[in-house]
Amino acid sequence: MTQWRSDVLGDEFECTDIDLGEDSEGPLIATLVRALPTPLGFWDRTLGRVRDLEHLDVLYVHGWSDYFFQKDLARYFTSRGARFFALDLRKYGRSLRQGQTFGYTERLEDYDTEINAAIDIMRNDNTGGSRGGGATATTPNHRSLVLLGHSTGGLVLSLWADRHRGVADALVLNSPWLELQVSGAARRAIAPVINLHARYSPHEITLPQLDLGFYTQAQRASDPDVVAAVNPAWRPDHTMPVRAGWLKAIIAGHERIAAGIDVGMPVCILLSARSVFGLSWTDAMLRADTVLDVDAVARAGLRLGPSVTIERINGALHDVFLSEAKVREEAYQRMNRWLLGKRPFERALDTHHSPSR
């Protein structure tokens, strides 16, 4: 049985460790965080009320130089009946151990281990779906799975889904890093250089620090309370150094996307309406993605499969759910509309009510 403990976020959040063995830097751990919905009241149960997302499990994966801390995102789902889980990948956030190179991996496929383990834990979770032990409409084995990835996490989950078709029911991507901040032609040009560095000096810092802190500055202006509570050791104002071995893995992932994959489920991509880059601060950065080229991401997103919806949100930051309040609310409304329209939980409803299964 999985042993859950109180999480650093406090309140309704719990976490558990996933043992991944070890590598040359020592023990490898991933951390799964969960938040469960409160049980429906007596009269709601008596009247047969079912919340919109009662039959859903959500697995969230964070971006580069990041970890899970977005309480409001979890509460959006749990308030609608879904169980919310977030995975801090190996060497990130809660999973980072002394002496490890932050976020370092040479193969994005290695993350399959903790993603698969997390899904196994979710499916075998005997809480039944609600905080406080209340009854729910479905058992864990009769729940549908929505994958939710931000930035690099969106790339990781997209590639995982292509290798594991039929496991999840829907893929929601929040500004996924599906292409470099340069053109595909430039990516192809620099890939041999990066690969050569990665072969002989994989831990060498490949790129100069290009993050001037503008993204964090914009987030502080949009939601200062959330950003103030972030652990700076796990999510610094400036991104962590980019190393050759890691960048080679990212470029390999981008090349797979560019060639076209099929995640085997409907996809919703949430993006800002525009990108703004620069070496000096401008107020336009308060209402734009200052990390990725959103137009390039939108084009790459169409290569994830035959059913892709792209939602461009005016005024959104790189993490659309950390934008200013009105923009953030629009992002939630669009995601909610898509989820209810696609209804990825219908398979769970059919499984639960059909005696032939």
The answer, yes or no, to whether residue 72 has pLDDT greater than 50, is yes
Residue 355 pLDDT exceeds 50: no
166: left (phi over 0), alpha (psi -120 to 50) or beta: left
Buried/exposed code over 338-355 (b: 16+ C-beta within 10 A; e: otherwise)? bbeebbbbeebbebbeee
- The CB-side HSE value for 347 (13 A sphere, CA atoms) comes to 15
Question: Which residue type, as a one-letter code, is found at position 237?
Answer: D
The predicted-structure confidence for 219-237, as pLDDT tens digits, reads as follows 999 999 888 899 999 999 9
Residue 22 has pLDDT above 80, yes or no: yes
Q: In sequence order, what are the beta bridge partners of 152?
A: none
| pLDDT confidence of residue 135 | 40
Each domain of the chain, given as residue ranges in start order, spans 5-348
> Environment class of residue 135 by beta-carbon count within 10 Å: exposed (0-12), middle (13-18) or buried (19+)?
exposed
pLDDT at 133 over 60: no
What is the 8-class DSSP label of residue 275?
B
Q: Has residue 119 got a pLDDT over 70? A: yes
CATH architecture of 5-348: 3-Layer(aba) Sandwich (3.40)
User: Is 0.75 topped by the overall pTM?
Assistant: yes
DSSP code, position 205: B
Which single residue is written with the structure tokens 């329209």? 341
Mean pLDDT is highest, among 189-198, 238-247, 321-330, for 321-330
Contact 51, 344 (CB under 8 A): no
pLDDT-above-70 percentage for the chain: 87
Question: pLDDT, tens digit, for every residue of 271-295?
Answer: 999 999 998 999 999 999 999 999 9
Tens of pLDDT, residue by residue over 191-218, are 777 776 677 788 887 766 667 899 999 9
Instruction: Report the Cα–Cα distance between both ends of the chain, in Å, rounded.
Output: 26
- Calpha distance 68→176 (Å, rounded): 16
Residue 108 gets which letter from DSSP?
G
Burial of 257 (0-12, 13-18, 19+ CB in 10 A): buried
Kind of pairing, strands 170-174 and 144-150?
A: parallel
Backbone angles phi, psi at 21, to 5 degrees: 85, -135
Q: Is the dihedral of CA 13, 164, 149, 75 positive or negative?
A: negative
